[in-house]
């Protein structure tokens, strides 16, 4: 044998199997036998590709987050204004989460229980991802679009906290509704606190929520 292609293929099969099983049954309740069986291998063979079950848990989201970092700059390219960039960041990120819910589940639900989470590549890469928010907020302060006395680190905390809250709830509720329901309204409410006084708020979106209010309570509350 000695085929590079088949080796990569097998590795991917293991990753995909593990991803599915972790997201489905949880990390603890997934056995190495479950994973290797799903991938069409013996248990021992898996250890030729990964150091073990925990290594597998850490590797999966690492690939995903790295891909996100590569994409972000491109997505923000050409967008004018800090608030428009913040909006794009949120919509873009939630779409990526929607497209890769298994990776997101591992990052936002399972990884944090790991004692070494703060020392992982994933953590430092997510930090890099969020650090773009600081740049955007500073830019907005410079241009006068955002309050001159706004501390970008505090604003980022609010932004990231709200975003992760939305994501986590959606994942815990088994993705039973759209991540984008009411997003416009939550975004506007959050961003209103960041705006400079001259900068206009968004009146259109406000009307919308009145119609969909009850809907929201049912599904997400």
Partner DNA sequence: CAGTTTCCCTAATACTATTAAGTTATACAG
Partner DNA sequence: CTGTATAACTTAATAGTATTAGGGAAACTG
Query: Which residues, 162 to 221, sit near a second copy by CB under 8 A?
Result: 162-166, 168, 172-173, 182, 185-186, 189-194, 206, 209, 213, 216-217, 220-221
Q: To 10 degrees, what angle do helices 152-172 and 121-143 make?
A: 130
At its nearest, how many Å lie between a second copy and the CB of residue 40? 25
Q: Binding to a second copy by residue 144, rule CB under 8 A?
A: no
At its nearest, how many Å lie between a second copy and the CB of residue 194? 8
At its nearest, how many Å lie between DNA and the CB of residue 40? 7
Q: Which is nearer to a second copy, 13 or 84 (CB)?
A: 84
Q: Binding to DNA by residue 115, rule CB under 7 A?
A: no
Q: Binding to DNA by residue 48, rule CB under 7 A?
A: yes
Structure tokens that stand for 55 in this block? 């290594």
At its nearest, how many Å lie between DNA and the CB of residue 14? 9
Q: Binding to a second copy by residue 27, rule CB under 8 A?
A: yes
Taking the C-alpha atoms of residue 113 and residue 108, their distance in angstroms, rounded to an integer, is 10
At CB < 8 A and 24+ separation, what contacts does 106-113 make?
A: 106/19, 106/22, 106/23, 106/57, 106/60, 106/61, 107/61, 107/64, 107/65, 108/164, 108/167, 108/168, 108/171, 109/168, 109/171, 109/172, 110/22, 110/26, 110/27, 110/57, 111/57, 111/58, 111/61
Q: Binding to DNA by residue 1, rule CB under 7 A?
A: yes
How many other CB atoms sit within 10 Å of the CB of residue 70?
9
Binds a second copy (CB under 8 A): choice among 32, 66, 109, 196: 109
At its nearest, how many Å lie between a second copy and the CB of residue 219? 11
Burial class (CB in 10 A: 0-12, 13-18, 19+), 80: exposed
CB 150 within 8 A of CB 199: no
Stretch that binds a second copy, among 10-18, 23-31, 33-41, 79-87 (CB under 8 A): 23-31
Which residues make up the interface to a second copy (CB under 8 A)? 25-29, 109-110, 112-115, 117-118, 127, 149-151, 153-155, 157-158, 160-166, 168, 172-173, 182, 185-186, 189-194, 206, 209, 213, 216-217, 220-221
């Amino acid at each position: 044998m000695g085929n590079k292609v088949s080796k990569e293929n097998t590795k991917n099969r293991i990753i995909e199997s593990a991803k599915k099983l972790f997201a489905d049954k949880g990390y603890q309740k997934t056995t190495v036998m479950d994973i290797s069986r799903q991938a069409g291998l013996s248990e021992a063979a898996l250890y030729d590709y990964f150091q073990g079950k925990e290594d597998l848990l850490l590797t999966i989201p690492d690939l995903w987050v790295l891909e996100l970092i590569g994409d972000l700059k491109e997505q923000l390219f050409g967008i004018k204004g800090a608030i428009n960039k913040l909006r794009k960041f949120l919509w873009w990120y939630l779409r990526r989460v929607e497209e890769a819910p298994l990776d997101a589940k591992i990052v936002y639900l399972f990884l944090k229980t790991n004692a070494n989470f703060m020392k992982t590549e994933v953590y430092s890469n997510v930090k890099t991802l969020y650090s773009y928010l600081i740049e955007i907020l500073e830019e907005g302060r410079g241009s006068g679009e955002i309050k001159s006395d706004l501390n970008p680190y505090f604003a980022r905390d609010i932004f990231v906290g709200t975003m992760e809250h939305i994501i986590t709830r959606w994942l815990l509720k088994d993705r039973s509704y759209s991540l984008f329901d009411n997003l416009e309204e939550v975004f506007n409410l959050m961003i209103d606190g960041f705006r400079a006084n001259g900068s206009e708020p968004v009146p259109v979106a406000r009307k919308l929520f009145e119609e969909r209010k009850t809907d929201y309570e049912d599904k997400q509350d």
